[in-house]
Amino acid sequence: MLALLDYALAAIHVAFVLSFLLLWIPRSTARAHGYVVLLTALSWFGIGLFKGFGYCVLTDLEWRVKRARGIRHIPGSFLKYAGDFITGKDLSPAVVDAVAATTFLFGCAVAVFRLVQRRREQSSSGA
């Protein structure tokens, strides 16, 4: 049962990361992208004030399940874990963190861009 939960959490986490990366592209899902960015920021910075900068609720849950399964040598971040798995290499945590920070800033910027775009469209249509 723990293995199934482990795989389910990994799938949810991958879906969340892909949502962060891609939902801004279609206008119809840009609002959902904004919520994904907001949830990420709340976890990394809001809860991160108490648990450590960059804290991720999903990673915490996944790592608890992995430890319960007896898996011990896991990195500090899901992105490093996934990157190592995908590439088959031991990626530098500093590089992974830098890519994550850059991607986060990009995600925030496009979320704000889409929000401004949506507001301009609403004001020009008289809504």
pLDDT along the chain (127 residues), means of 10: 96 97 95 97 96 95 97 94 96 96 97 94 78
Place of tokens 């798995």: 85
Which two structure tokens, joined as six digits, stand for 58?
A: 């999903």
Region of residue 88 (phi > 0: left; psi between -120 and 50: alpha; otherwise: beta): left
Residue-level pLDDT at 126:
66
pTM: 0.89
* Model pLDDT, residue 124: 83
Amino acid identity for residue 9 in this structure: L
Distance, in Å, from the CA atom of 103 to the CA atom of 74, rounded to the nearest integer, reads: 23
SS3 content of the chain, % helix, strand, coil (to 5): 80, 0, 20
